[in-house]
Amino acid sequence: MRTSFFLLVISLFQFYALSAQPADDAVLMEIGSQKVSIREFERIYLKNRNVGDEVKEMPIDEYLDLFITFKLKVVQAEELGYDTLSSFIKELKGYREQLAKPYLTNQKAIDRLIEEAWERSQKDIHASHILIKGGNNLNTKEQEDLYNKVINIRERILAGESFTTVAKGTSDDPSAKFNGGDLGYFTVFQMVYPFETAAYNTPPGEISMPVKSRFGYHLIKVLDTRPSRGEIKVAHIMIATPRGSSQEETDKAGQEIIKIYEMLQQGEDFASLAKEHSDDYRSAKNGGELPWFGTGKMIPDFDKAAFALTKNGEISKPVKTPYGWHIIKRIDIRKPVSLEKSREAIERKVLSGDRIEVAKKEFIDQLKEEYSFKSDSSLLQPFYKAITDSSLASRQWMNASGLENQGTLFSFASKEYSPIDLKTYIAAQKGIKLAGTPRQIVDKLYYDFVRKEIIGFEKGRLEDKYPEFRYLLKEYHDGMLLFEISDNKVWSKASEDSTGLQKFYKAHAKDYMSEEAVQYLQFSFSTDKQEKELYKLLRKGAKKKHKLSFYRTYYPADTVPGSVKLEQKETYLPEFEYFEATDIKKGKYKKINDNEGSKLILINKLIDPRIMDIDEIRGLVTSDYQDYLKEKWEESLRKEYEVKVNNELLEELKLKIGNIKQ
């Protein structure tokens, strides 16, 4: 109940960001201790008028009354201390964290990354690379030496040596020994972001400058580009030839795949053959079907053969790959989709992948500029000397000299931080383990500390910086209070106050009269003989006042199939559809034919209206009692708290609202 009610409150009282409207904090009304600005009320009213069916045509004066009632309940909840409860504070904090997320990211950067990813997804890249591992645990001199090593390799290739030959001789990628560094075709999200960016920015035939990733340094040679082919769905039959198979085993697999191909040519079912013969047991049980895939997801030989199929249902000749022999059947193909249709899927990948760090850094840089960030990196020197990966774990670094300097390490927005603050932050990072040179470790810790402080500062002033955030958080705050006090004053009280409920029922018992009802007997029959017997029996039954017990002697409850079935039923008169109102009398009967067969309906009792017992209608009485409690509560609120409305401002707002096109 809480979830649905709370969503309703947020829907009814959510802010409306009216574009191009000036800030206006003039007080429109005072409700108890709360002051409501004209801007707040305008936002809420316009929001409801645009999305709430109940408010769409509601005059502003009528809505004002609803709004005042809402605010009166919030005021009382605050006076009773609902907003000071630890559970309330914790829940509101959780909502604030969720609401703050969009304000603590660089949405422009994220949008740019999404658009960049989509543009790249429209093109496939064929490239080779050389990987030289290292760079994470090296000092500055070693870093320079490694970079120069990669530059020398690049110069050898530019001087005329074959990229393939050099890759086989120098690359730390194990696959280079047999493929010469050839990665085949790939597309967006299939490589680490720095590698992907370099590949898409390098023209075909050229070799990139050294590209640093978490794996080391790369040299990338772009061999070709092509428009994206989209995704394809295929089924396959595979006869495996595992690495190390003998020539005899390989030949046997080749003979078997040819036999299967011949069976397919003779019209045998592909799915059945896949289930019976394929060594890819995972897909075999599904008739050989594989998930949708695009460029770079399959090994090149399989990929090439699959996309070479030109129509659905077409079957390839046997295809050899390092894993064995395959016969591929095309099921369907889909072309690349528009940015609009793929945005959501791309955004998920952007937010969960390594490129999100780009957006995070841009956001921090943006805040640094906004808050005049300054840093004195010379004060980091003692940390460079004291901290290593091993000293972090043992905490020996904390005893080093020079870490207690009280100078300003960095500052922003009139806030200053000293090396002591950095030391305290690092000491609190339990279980932290970082790889790299002392400088790299310290720089990472320092950056994380700066980020934490500047994000924390920004988070703490969202209400002042963004009016829409302030309004939205207040609506969550007020909605939560409304739920809690309504539950206490109305919902739970109505359910738990059995004495009050009983008293309310007795005072309003006449409101719970049942409708006039009719009790009738329904005889279901299937033969003419049974029908004739029924009419004879009805004449005898009239003398017995058509009591059920009389007819049960002829038609017991447990009947065998094909015999007359007797049921006693009861319904309210307006729902009794078998007779006209003027014909509804005790003893009246009528034959009915419908989809279920033949029936004879006999009225055997008319039931007068009566006051229903509370146990029959407890849910209805409880609901009415809740309405009663709510009405009395709202009446008491109007008497307890003073409400002042600036009618002059209200009239101005009416004129303004009337001029806004909906």
**What residues does each domain of the chain span?**
1-79+466-512+611-662, 123-227, 231-334, 373-462, 514-607
- pLDDT reported for residue 328: 98
Angle between helices 467-486 and 2-13 (to 10 degrees): 140
Query: Maximum distance among all alpha carbons in the chain?
Result: 120
Residues 295 and 185: beta-carbon distance below 8 Å: yes
Residues 132 and 216: beta-carbon distance below 8 Å: yes
- Tokens 């500047």, located at residue: 454
User: Does residue 31 surpass a pLDDT of 50?
Assistant: yes
User: Does residue 18 surpass a pLDDT of 60?
Assistant: no
- Tokens 């960016």, located at residue: 197
- Starting at the edge strand found earlier in the chain, the sheet holding 565-572 runs 565-572, 517-525, 597-607, 589-594
Predicted confidence (pLDDT) per residue in 566-611, tens digit: 999 999 888 888 888 888 899 999 999 888 789 999 999 999 999 9
- pLDDT reported for residue 7: 43
Residues 271 and 288: beta-carbon distance below 8 Å: yes
Q: What is the three-class DSSP state of 207?
A: strand
User: Does residue 319 surpass a pLDDT of 70?
Assistant: yes
Instruction: Name the band, by pLDDT with cuts 50, 70 and 90, for residue 135.
Output: low
- pLDDT reported for residue 432: 75
In CATH, which of 3.30.56.10, 3.10.50.40, 3.40.50.2300, 3.40.50.720 is domain 231-334?
Answer: 3.10.50.40
Euclidean distance between CA atoms 515 and 612, whole angstroms: 10
Mean pLDDT of 441-446: 92
Q: What percentage of the chain reaches a pLDDT higher than 70?
A: 94
User: Does residue 476 surpass a pLDDT of 90?
Assistant: yes
Q: Which long-range contacts (CB under 8 A, 24 or more apart) does 495-501 make?
A: 495/622, 500/625, 501/614, 501/621, 501/622, 501/625
Q: Is 231-334 in the same CATH topology as 123-227?
A: yes
- Architecture of the domain whose range is 123-227: Roll (3.10)
User: Does residue 438 surpass a pLDDT of 90?
Assistant: no
Euclidean distance between CA atoms 111 and 29, whole angstroms: 41
Predicted confidence (pLDDT) per residue in 173-232, tens digit: 999 999 999 999 999 999 999 999 999 999 999 999 999 998 999 999 999 999 999 999
- Tokens 């790959």, located at residue: 321
User: Does residue 285 surpass a pLDDT of 90?
Assistant: yes
Mean pLDDT score of the chain: 90
Pairing relationship of beta strands 374-375 and 319-321 according to DSSP bridges: unpaired
- Residue 461 to residues 412, 467, 519: CA-CA distances in angstroms? 14, 11, 71
Euclidean distance between CA atoms 171 and 637, whole angstroms: 79
- Tokens 């039931």, located at residue: 607
User: Does residue 4 surpass a pLDDT of 50?
Assistant: no
- pLDDT reported for residue 509: 93
Predicted confidence (pLDDT) per residue in 514-568, tens digit: 889 999 999 999 999 999 999 999 999 999 999 999 999 999 988 788 899 999 9
- pLDDT reported for residue 223: 97
CATH number belonging to domain 514-607: 3.10.50
Instruction: Name the band, by pLDDT with cuts 50, 70 and 90, for residue 94.
Output: very high
Euclidean distance between CA atoms 556 and 572, whole angstroms: 26
359-363, 439-443, 567-571: which has the minimum mean pLDDT?
439-443
pTM of the model: 0.70
Tell the burial category of 232 from Cβ atoms under 10 Å away from its Cβ (0-12, 13-18, 19+). buried
Euclidean distance between CA atoms 436 and 530, whole angstroms: 97
What beta strand segments (E) does 187-316 contain?
A: 211-213, 216-227, 231-240
User: Does residue 11 surpass a pLDDT of 90?
Assistant: no
Q: Which long-range contacts (CB under 8 A, 24 or more apart) does 39-43 make?
A: 39/467, 40/15, 40/471, 40/474, 41/67, 41/653, 42/16, 42/18, 42/653, 42/656, 42/657, 43/15, 43/16, 43/17, 43/18, 43/471
- Residue 547 to residues 255, 521, 555, 576: CA-CA distances in angstroms? 86, 9, 13, 20
Predicted confidence (pLDDT) per residue in 389-413, tens digit: 778 878 889 988 889 888 999 999 9
Side chain identity at 406, as an amino acid letter?
A: Q
Instruction: Name the band, by pLDDT with cuts 50, 70 and 90, for residue 151.
Output: very high
User: Does residue 6 surpass a pLDDT of 50?
Assistant: no
Euclidean distance between CA atoms 92 and 475, whole angstroms: 11
Euclidean distance between CA atoms 576 and 584, whole angstroms: 9
